């Protein structure tokens, strides 16, 4: 079983829609949960991370973690064509190793 499961999509939405991305993880010991954005042929860029359960908001982005169900979510409000990218969820172990999901490819149509 993979440590982090993520539906690879692809996901296509019209401009202005809400993008909803989800992951599940298996190891209940994980405390840090990350979301990265990766453009084609580029390294991942950290969008935001959360510690333990709860919500975190940064501009149009909201990350949620539900540790009881081992569920991680990212919401993008008022999506823009520039948001088109691959979004990777990840968990961070105590020795700082990242376990990535498969990544979901998102296209925001103008």
Of positions 47, 65, 85, 88, contacts other proteins by CB under 8 A: 88
Q: Cβ of residue 16: shortest distance to other proteins, in angstroms?
A: 28
Residue 42 near other proteins by CB under 8 A: yes
- Return the structure tokens found at 70: 């081992």
Residue 34 near other proteins by CB under 8 A: yes
How many residues make contact with other proteins (CB under 8 A)?
24
- Pick 1 or 14: Cβ nearer other proteins: 1
3-state secondary structure the chain: CCCEEECCCCEEEECCCCEEEEEEECCCCCCEEEEEEECCCCCCEEEEEEECCEEEEECCEEEEEECCCCEEEEEECCCCHHHCEEEEEEEECCCCCEEECCCEEEEEEC
- Pick 32 or 71: Cβ nearer other proteins: 32
Q: Cβ of residue 75: shortest distance to other proteins, in angstroms?
A: 19
Q: Give me the residues that bind other proteins (CB under 8 A), please.
A: 6, 8, 32, 34, 36, 41-46, 49, 51, 88, 92, 95-103
């Amino acid at each position: 079983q993979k440590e982090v499961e993520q539906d690879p999509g692809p996901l296509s939405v019209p401009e202005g829609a809400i993008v909803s991305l989800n992951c599940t993880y298996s190891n209940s010991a994980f405390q840090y949960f990350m979301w990265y954005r990766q453009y084609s042929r580029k390294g991942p860029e950290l969008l935001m991370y959360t510690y333990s359960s709860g919500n975190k908001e940064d501009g149009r982005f909201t990350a949620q973690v539900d540790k009881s169900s081992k569920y991680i979510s990212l919401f993008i409000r008022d999506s823009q064509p520039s948001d088109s990218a691959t979004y990777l969820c990840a968990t961070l172990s105590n020795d700082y190793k990242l376990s990535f999901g498969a990544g979901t490819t998102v296209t925001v149509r103008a």
